[in-house]
Chain A
Amino acid sequence: MTAETDGAALRLDRVCRRFSAGGREIAAVEEVSAVVAQGGITGLIGADGAGKTTLMRLIAGLLRPDRGAIEVLGIDVRRDPLAVQGRIGYMPQRFGLYEELTVRENLDLYADLHGVAPAARAARYAGLMAMTGLEPFTARRAGRLSGGMKQKLGLACTLVQPPRLLLLDEPTVGVDPVSRRELWEIIDRLTTDEGVTVLFSTAYLDEAARCRDVLLLHEGRLLAQGKPARFTAPMAGRTFRVAAPESGRRRLQARLAAAPGVIDTVIEGRFVRVVSEAAPWTPPPGIEAVAVAPRFEDGFVDELLRLRGGAATPSATSPAPPTPPPEPAKTVIAVERLTRRFGDFTAVDAVSFEVRRGEIFGLLGANGAGKSTTFRMLCGLLPASGGRLDVAGYDLRRARAAARGRIGYMAQKFSLYGDLTVAQNLAFFASAYGLRGGRRAARIGWALAEFGLGGMREAAARDLALGYRQRLALAAALMHAPDILFLDEPTSGVDPLARREFWRRIGALAEDGVTVLVTTHFMEEAEYCDRLVIMAQGRILAEGTPGEIRAGAADAARPDPTMEDAFVAVIGAASGAVAAETVA
């Protein structure tokens, strides 16, 4: 224990770990060196595939590094993993709860495993239950808890014996914003009251601001490390906001992206956010830019761009063949009291909305809110239990096949054939949509050129980086130039540059008259939508433009709330029962 007094909770020295998959070697963690001081929260931040989980498992002694040394609390993990495992708490992505056991029984098990004396338990449990708000549910089985409650119980189980170092692997993924906020409050309290050192991995860049230190991972390498301010400081004076009319946001964004000295543009409700290359930036004539505070994401994008060279949002070419100018306000999708029941569980409860041509329409909600079920019914993959469903002028309950020919669908996790090459995947999807001969060849050529896939046409889809796989999936869904595009959690886990590029394409498609429906649990992504609905427990709680939804949550204390603030307010207002269960 004497070695633990030197202050470092964690030392990583040139840590490497590779995996071999299908005859290839993938460097999951490459030459990562870092020191994490005791106390406070250190964020391990990066997109999917950046190496966060592998690094967590290496630290926990669940994997052995190929090279390099890992020292946790002064103990060499490779030499004595058991000693490390007795001193740390670790919550894997799936919480590690026994669903058949009650809340209390799960706590008892982990108390037994960690050797907590029976006499000390009552007080410890009481503290943990008060902290997590699980007091009323101690006799409930873990399998019957909501996602947010499971998460808190998973956290409580790792805390029965107060750990010196707490490893949390993406604890906030897929959890609704209310639970996410509560989790952060608990973790803040742990570090201040109990002096626990926390290593927190996440793909949500906005969580970086809550950390004391940040380790930024990208494709297995440590891109940068330091205090969150270290990422925002170089961005000082380079971030602006330009007001835009609700309907012309995308045109304004394209114009700003093409303006000199601009490296990044993002649509944010009624505004377009602009990041400039250098500190003094003069907006193009006729445009009024207001300076705003830089964010962590700006710094990340800046780092990535420096790594790659070039601007984040190059000007768009038209990704779809020319279509006649949009006829405004024509309804393409009409949903009326749509309901889906599974047994006595109602997944979607009398949902109604309309989507107009060329609109980007979002379904926003946490896991289990009913987004995917609604989506599957709209695509004709799942019959509705009740209600009316009109897609592209077809009643989906009767003319499913005809409606499908006009729909493009990009599933979660990008359903591609990993063993096929890029060209073969495109050829397959073109054939599946009934394209033949010259038209097929033309569309494949268009996809390769438009999505920048020409250089990798012979590469197997599985070997592509996540961002390219996403492009290929989108290209495949567009082979038959559909009128309506369904995107199910399209950008979950990709890095911010890939996400920007993706939304730029989607924006261009919408400008060309393609109607886009998208589900997401990323609050920032809701800003890209023209209109959206917030869903919870199968029902629509709010509907409107991003601006309207945010304005609905504005009050004296928070005149300009974020989408997340709005979401939390909507959920809280809609149902006292929901609030009682999750906020406790």
Chain B
Amino acid sequence: MNGAAWRRVRGLMRKEAVQIWRDPSALAIAFLLPAILLWLFGYGVTLDARRVPLGIVVERPGALAASFTAGFDRSRYFAPHRYLSGRDAEQAMAAGKVSGIVWLRADFGRQARTARGAPVGVVIDGVDANTARLVEGYVQQVWAGWVAAAAARQGERDALPLDIRPRVRFNPSVNSRHYLIPGLIALIMTLTGALLTALVIAREWERGTMEALMVTPVTLRDILVAKLVPYFALGMGGMFGSVGIAVFLFGVPLRGSMLVLSFCAALFMLAALGMGLLISTVARNQFVAGQLALITTFLPAFILSGFVFDLHSTPGFVQAISHVVAARYFIAILQSVFLAGDVWAVILPNAAALALLAAIFLALARALSRKRLD
């Protein structure tokens, strides 16, 4: 970059800085949007089941049945409702009043004494697969707890057919928020990054300043560099703000190093900003730019990153598409750095993928930009 080019870029960057400072919309996108979304999602979205309505049918009450069902009453995961017959309970489930049914047959007390054990009917509303799996797991936990307690009481521990010892790795407190927040940061920052560059360039088109800018000795490289640098700084500011919220507001542990996190975040931010620049090659007004940013960054990141929906069960081409979703790699890195530490086997390949995506997006944006109106 020679002296004249450096002066042009510096002039443009200074202009960008003044605009950011005086027109708070960019600051709002970089700091306010992530803070609000993280706060909203962090508190509002949780994969933990709390007080799930559960139907309990005891066909013939007895001491054994009472001690078993008491486990559900005590559990903080369930809000049990009693029904007199299986049909009543099934109707309640069809009406969406309960998410599952635990059904003790009339012969529960008798069968429990036999070697085959007592059958416990468990019916789960499978409409919401996530909740269904949770309910299933919690019912098993209650059952296992009850068996263990009963065995301990009777001193027959060795005779028990089952020995369940649940162990949870990486998220010992089984707090799904700790798992969700790092993913949310990636999700939110992918939107923020794309919006920052796409919106400010669309704004220049809308106000006609881009047209005037283009009829000067400025080159496309000057314009792209001058957009990238200030908004990279702004985006990283938003990123650190989000990490701060995760650690200090939600209490998510940060087990890895800040240095690794910053480096990977920088790669990710370049990819997100590159995506925004790519959007700006086709979007000439802020509305279209905003819509495109949502559709091409946030939604794929939500659906195709493996964060919410398991990608292993999707068709091959969907998995193939998911490889260009930058958030996918960053989510893996963030979850590792937050919950497990600097696991290089996770960080290195994902960071390499981020670097590659950033390079591709930026190169594409450069190749598709024209210093012309057509």
Other than the known A89-B215, A99-B207, what 6 A-B pairs have Cβ atoms closer than 8 Å? A60-B215, A93-B208, A94-B208, A113-B11, A113-B213, A114-B217
- Which of A104-112, A220-228, A273-281 is the contact stretch? A104-112
> Do A113 and B218 touch across chains, with their CB atoms under 8 A apart?
yes
Interface residues of A in 110-139 (CB under 8 A from B): 110-115
- Which of B278-286, B351-359, B366-374 is the contact stretch? B366-374
Q: With an 8 A cutoff between CB atoms, is A62 at the interface? A: yes
Interface residues of B in 102-154 (CB under 8 A from A): none
Q: With an 8 A cutoff between CB atoms, is A503 at the interface? A: no
> Do A94 and B207 touch across chains, with their CB atoms under 8 A apart?
yes
Contact partners of B218 in chain A: CB under 8 A:
113
User: Which residue on A lies nearest to B212, using beta carbons?
Assistant: A96
Contact partners of A115 in chain B: CB under 8 A:
4, 7-8, 217
User: Which residue on B lies nearest to A169, using beta carbons?
Assistant: B211
> Do A100 and B208 touch across chains, with their CB atoms under 8 A apart?
no
Interface residues of A in 365-385 (CB under 8 A from B): none
Cβ contacts B1-40/A at 8 Å (1 or 0 each): 0001001101110110011001100000000000000000
With A57-B373, A96-B209, A105-B15: A82-B217 Cβ-Cβ less than 8 Å: yes
Contact partners of B217 in chain A: CB under 8 A:
82, 85-86, 113-115
Distance between A200 CB and nearest chain B CB, rounded to angstroms: 16
Q: With an 8 A cutoff between CB atoms, is B216 at the interface? A: yes
Distance between B298 CB and nearest chain A CB, rounded to angstroms: 28
**Residues of B near any A CB (own CB < 8 A):** 4, 7-8, 10-12, 14-15, 18-19, 22-23, 207-209, 211-219, 371-374
Distance between A436 CB and nearest chain B CB, rounded to angstroms: 39
Q: With an 8 A cutoff between CB atoms, is A211 at the interface? A: no
With A112-B10, A115-B7: A62-B373 Cβ-Cβ less than 8 Å: yes
Contact partners of A477 in chain B: CB under 8 A:
none
> Do B219 and A82 touch across chains, with their CB atoms under 8 A apart?
yes
User: Which residue on B lies nearest to A84, using beta carbons?
Assistant: B215
- Complex Cα gap A98–B204 (Å): 9
> Do A112 and B12 touch across chains, with their CB atoms under 8 A apart?
yes
With A85-B217, A99-B207, A112-B12: A90-B212 Cβ-Cβ less than 8 Å: yes
Q: With an 8 A cutoff between CB atoms, is A553 at the interface? A: no
Contact partners of B11 in chain A: CB under 8 A:
108-109, 111-113
With A63-B372, A63-B373: A100-B22 Cβ-Cβ less than 8 Å: yes
- Complex Cα gap A110–B22 (Å): 19
- A100 interface neighbour in B18, B216, B219, Cβ under 8 Å: B18
Q: Which of B8, B216, B217 has the most CB of A within 10 A?
A: B216
- Complex Cα gap A113–B208 (Å): 17
With A98-B209, A100-B19, A115-B7: A90-B215 Cβ-Cβ less than 8 Å: yes
With A63-B372, A113-B213, A113-B217: A98-B19 Cβ-Cβ less than 8 Å: yes
> Do B209 and A101 touch across chains, with their CB atoms under 8 A apart?
no
- Complex Cα gap A115–B371 (Å): 19
User: Which residue on B lies nearest to A117, using beta carbons?
Assistant: B7
Contact partners of A12 in chain B: CB under 8 A:
none
What are 24 pairs between A and B in contact, CB < 8 Å?
Answer: A60-B215, A61-B215, A62-B372, A62-B373, A63-B373, A82-B371, A85-B214, A85-B216, A88-B215, A90-B212, A95-B208, A96-B211, A98-B15, A98-B19, A111-B11, A112-B12, A113-B11, A113-B12, A113-B213, A113-B217, A141-B22, A154-B212, A158-B212, A167-B215
Q: With an 8 A cutoff between CB atoms, is A92 at the interface? A: yes
Distance between A578 CB and nearest chain B CB, rounded to angstroms: 27
Contact partners of A57 in chain B: CB under 8 A:
373
- Complex Cα gap A101–B20 (Å): 11
Cβ contacts A450-485/B at 8 Å (1 or 0 each): 000000000000000000000000000000000000
Q: Which of A82, A154, A158 has the most CB of B within 10 A?
A: A82
Q: With an 8 A cutoff between CB atoms, is A500 at the interface? A: no
**Residues of A near any B CB (own CB < 8 A):** 57, 60-64, 81-82, 85-86, 88-101, 105, 108-115, 141, 154, 157-158, 167
- Complex Cα gap A105–B18 (Å): 9
Contact partners of A112 in chain B: CB under 8 A:
7-8, 10-12, 14
Contact partners of A158 in chain B: CB under 8 A:
212
Q: Which 6 A-B pairs have the closest CB atoms?
A: A96-B212, A112-B11, A94-B208, A90-B215, A86-B217, A100-B22
- Complex Cα gap A90–B371 (Å): 15
> Do A113 and B373 touch across chains, with their CB atoms under 8 A apart?
no
Contact partners of B10 in chain A: CB under 8 A:
112
> Do B216 and A114 touch across chains, with their CB atoms under 8 A apart?
yes
Contact partners of B373 in chain A: CB under 8 A:
57, 62-63
- B15 interface neighbour in A64, A85, A109, Cβ under 8 Å: A109
Contact partners of A113 in chain B: CB under 8 A:
8, 11-12, 213, 216-218
- Complex Cα gap A64–B8 (Å): 25
Contact partners of B213 in chain A: CB under 8 A:
96, 113
Q: Which of B4, B8, B208, B215 has the most CB of A within 10 A?
A: B215
- Complex Cα gap A348–B123 (Å): 71
Contact partners of A98 in chain B: CB under 8 A:
15, 19, 209
> Do B18 and A101 touch across chains, with their CB atoms under 8 A apart?
yes
> Do B19 and A96 touch across chains, with their CB atoms under 8 A apart?
no
Distance between B267 CB and nearest chain A CB, rounded to angstroms: 30
- B212 interface neighbour in A63, A91, A100, A101, Cβ under 8 Å: A91
User: Which residue on A lies nearest to B371, using beta carbons?
Assistant: A81
Distance between B253 CB and nearest chain A CB, rounded to angstroms: 42
> Do B208 and A92 touch across chains, with their CB atoms under 8 A apart?
yes
User: Which residue on B lies nearest to A167, using beta carbons?
Assistant: B215
- A64 interface neighbour in B4, B22, B209, B374, Cβ under 8 Å: B374
- Complex Cα gap A85–B215 (Å): 5
Contact partners of A60 in chain B: CB under 8 A:
214-215
Contact partners of B207 in chain A: CB under 8 A:
94, 99
User: Which residue on B lies nearest to A102, using beta carbons?
Assistant: B18
- Complex Cα gap A101–B213 (Å): 15
Distance between A206 CB and nearest chain B CB, rounded to angstroms: 26
> Do B372 and A61 touch across chains, with their CB atoms under 8 A apart?
yes
Contact partners of B4 in chain A: CB under 8 A:
115
Contact partners of A61 in chain B: CB under 8 A:
215, 371-372
With A92-B208, A100-B19, A113-B12: A63-B214 Cβ-Cβ less than 8 Å: no
Distance between A19 CB and nearest chain B CB, rounded to angstroms: 9
Distance between A92 CB and nearest chain B CB, rounded to angstroms: 5
Contact partners of A101 in chain B: CB under 8 A:
15, 18-19
- Complex Cα gap A92–B12 (Å): 19
Contact partners of A85 in chain B: CB under 8 A:
214-217
- Complex Cα gap A64–B370 (Å): 11
- Complex Cα gap A93–B7 (Å): 27
Contact partners of A88 in chain B: CB under 8 A:
215
User: Which residue on A lies nearest to B19, using beta carbons?
Assistant: A100
> Do A62 and B214 touch across chains, with their CB atoms under 8 A apart?
yes
> Do B215 and A100 touch across chains, with their CB atoms under 8 A apart?
no
Distance between B272 CB and nearest chain A CB, rounded to angstroms: 24
- Complex Cα gap A114–B213 (Å): 10
Distance between B363 CB and nearest chain A CB, rounded to angstroms: 21
- Complex Cα gap A435–B207 (Å): 42
With A100-B19, A115-B7: A110-B372 Cβ-Cβ less than 8 Å: no
Distance between B84 CB and nearest chain A CB, rounded to angstroms: 64
Contact partners of A105 in chain B: CB under 8 A:
15, 18
- B211 interface neighbour in A62, A100, A109, Cβ under 8 Å: A62
- Complex Cα gap A115–B222 (Å): 13
- Complex Cα gap A62–B7 (Å): 23
User: Which residue on A lies nearest to B20, using beta carbons?
Assistant: A100
- Complex Cα gap A141–B23 (Å): 12
- Complex Cα gap A395–B251 (Å): 65
With A64-B372, A112-B7: A100-B23 Cβ-Cβ less than 8 Å: yes
Distance between B104 CB and nearest chain A CB, rounded to angstroms: 67
> Do A110 and B23 touch across chains, with their CB atoms under 8 A apart?
no
- A110 interface neighbour in B14, B18, B19, B216, Cβ under 8 Å: B216
Distance between B206 CB and nearest chain A CB, rounded to angstroms: 10
